[in-house]
Structure 1
Amino acid sequence: MDALSLVGLSLALVAIIGGNYLEGGHVGALINGPAALIVIGGTLGAAFLQTPVNVFKRSLAILRWIILPPHIDLPGGINRVVGWSMVARKEGLLGLEPVADSEADPYARKGLQLLVDGTEPESIRGILEVDFFTQENRDIQAAKVFESMGGYAPTIGIIGAVMGLIHVMSNLADPGALGSGIAVAFVATIYGVAFANLLLLPVGNKLKSIAARQSVYREMLLEGILSIAEGENPRSIELKLQGFLN
């Protein structure tokens, strides 16, 4: 579990609500249904219009990474690759077949199977790089969905503010209706800016950073598998792959 995400979200909420309280406001002043409907509904609508269905589904699938990020163990991965190289050195590439059959990571399993099949190093690179870049692009595009919503939300908030002011201007003769219109105007702006800067943009950036770490891990596996295919010494492979730890 990524405790830092929970701490960050909680701190942001406490800062906003606490600051409002210290200024003499109350929580109820920040709760406004029409403003929330305008900002959230408008932002989602713009995102739906912009995003292909498969990309949006992927963005929802990886949203859990904010709290439960995938386990990325670079030192452990290097040790695994060195272990594979030792097996290949002692038993030949065919000795990796049981290892490939029991490997849980689809990317690593595919690479091991290519080794077992005796595929040339350049062919291995070409095949694995397609998977590498496709998965990286898929996750980055999914993360950008939240970035795009972070760009739309403040503008939708301004639209909500203008709508509230229009309501105020059309009811100047009725002082009792002025309060609700002004509330929608200002709260919609707060919702738009806060929704973007405290949630959507940080979520998008964090998902991109996780996708980048996964790409580094896959690149390390790729280099390790190619080194095994080229018959490099396990110690040389270990020294090479340790560069990814920096």
Structure 2
Amino acid sequence: MITLLGIVAGFALIISAMILGGSPLAFVDVPSILIVLGGTVAITIVSFSPKDLQLIPGALWHMMTYTPLDPREAGVTMIQISERARKQGLMSLEKLTSTMNNEPFLQKALNLTVDGASVEEIEQILQKEIHYTASIQSKSVDLLRRAAEVAPAMGLIGTLVGLVQMLGNLSDPSTIGPAMSVALLTTFYGAVLAHMVLMPLATKAERNSQNESTLNALYLTGALSISREENPRRLEMQLNAMLPQTHRIRYFE
């Protein structure tokens, strides 16, 4: 919601300025929209393989809608799960995993532990999962950043198209206005698309990806500790080694 509200607020300010300065319809030009939007999509697609383009939309949607937990809260959760497994046995976690649909990585990690997989097997499977997820998310961020690079360039191309049309028809004054409109509005559309939509989304997606990677690393450490049947106090020390000083866990204190 914060992402959506931020983008809507930015566009609301621009539209308000258009209305206060005159007719907002003067800023609507179909050829300019086609050049910027169509060109940005086409050139961005060229930069990626068909396989990547099939996986990226789903990853982008997940990164935009994913609300990561605070790492300290996730660490405390893992310690509580470790205590439960130590007191009640691994099978007591079976019912717990069914309530973790919002955290599929943690759910998978605990399922592997409950199913009796070896520590080496759990680590191997989950490390591959972390690497694959990070790879797809990195490509998703690259797509947004690539589109943000292309959009202003397409705006510049549209400006050159409009100027060529204008200079080629100076003898007909009626064509100067529409040609100049294309020349200016394509630059405007390209700048707005890149700096008000694509770049903020890329930054948000990258931050969410980093947060999710941190959480997955904490979950992996917790699952391995539970599988080894280690003392939860030892798990707390391991998790604190992965967290910054200001986010250290003080569960047993």
Is TM > 0.5 for Structure 1 vs Structure 2? yes
1:9 shift after superposition: 1.2
Q: 1-side partners of 2:43 and 2:121: how far apart?
A: 42
- SS of equivalent to 1:71: coil
Unaligned runs of 5+ in 2: 248-253
> Against the structure 1 CA distance between its residues 17 and 94, is the aligned structure 2 distance closer, same or farther, given a 3 Å change threshold?
closer
Match of 1:44 in 2: 41
* TM-score, structure 2 normalization: 0.83
Select 1:166's aligned residue among 157, 164, 167: 164
Of the three residues 208, 217, 220, the one matched with 2:218 is: 220
Contact 1:46 1:152 in 2 (8 A): yes
Select 2:65's aligned residue among 56, 66, 69.
69
- Cα distance in 2 for residues equivalent to 1:6 and 1:202: 11
User: Which residue of the other structure, out of 50, 53, 64, is the alignment partner of 2:50?
Assistant: 53
Higher mean alpha-carbon deviation, 191-200 vs 123-132, is at 123-132
Shift of 1:51: 2.0
Residue type of the alignment partner of 1:123 = E
8 Å contact from structure 2 (residues 68, 208) kept in 1: no
- Whether the 8 Å CA contact 1:158–1:189 is kept in 2: the answer is yes
- Residue in structure 1 matched with residue 233 of structure 2 by the alignment: 235
Q: Determine whether 1:146 maps to 2:144.
A: yes
Contact 2:40 2:151 survives alignment (8 Å): yes
Residues 239 and 194 of structure 1, relative CA distance in 2, 3 Å threshold? same
Report the CA distance shift for 1:62/1:101 in structure 2 as closer, same or farther (over 3 A): closer
Q: Is the Cα–Cα contact under 8 Å of residues 32 and 184 in structure 1 kept in the other structure?
A: yes
Any stretches of 5+ residues in structure 1 without a counterpart? none
1:69–1:210 contact (8 Å) kept in structure 2: no
Give the letter aligned to residue 85 of structure 1.
S
Q: What is the alpha-carbon root mean square deviation over aligned residues?
A: 2.5
Of residues 105, 110, 113, the one that matches 1:112 is 110
1:115 to 1:62, Cα distance in 2 relative to 1, 3 A: closer
Structure 2 residue aligned with 1:80, among 77, 80, 89? 77
**Cα deviations across residues 93-124 of structure 1 (Å, max 9, x unaligned)?**
34444444664343223322332344443432
Cα offset, 1:156, TM superposition: 0.6
SS at match of 1:51: coil
Q: CA-to-partner distance for each residue in 1:51-81, whole Å, 9 max, x for gaps?
A: 2234334433344457x62232245533432
Q: Which of 230-239 and 180-189 deviates more? A: 230-239
Q: Is the 8 A contact 1:88 1:228 kept in 2?
A: yes
CA separation of 1:8/1:65 partners in 2, compared to 1, >3 Å: closer, same or farther?
Answer: farther
Residue 7 of structure 1 pairs with residue 27 of structure 2: no
Tell me the amino acid that sits aligned with residue 148 of structure 2.
G
The count of corresponding residues between Structure 1 and Structure 2 is 242
- Greater mean alpha carbon deviation, residues 29-38 or residues 117-126: 117-126
TM-score, structure 1 normalization: 0.86
Could you say which residue in structure 2 is the equivalent of 1:198?
A: 196
**Mapped partners of 1:102, 1:17: distance in 2:** 45
1:103–1:7 CA distance, 2 compared to 1 (3 A)? closer
Tell me the residue number matched to 2:251.
none
Contact preservation (8 Å) 2:59, 2:136: no
Deviates more, 1:91-100 or 1:128-137: 91-100
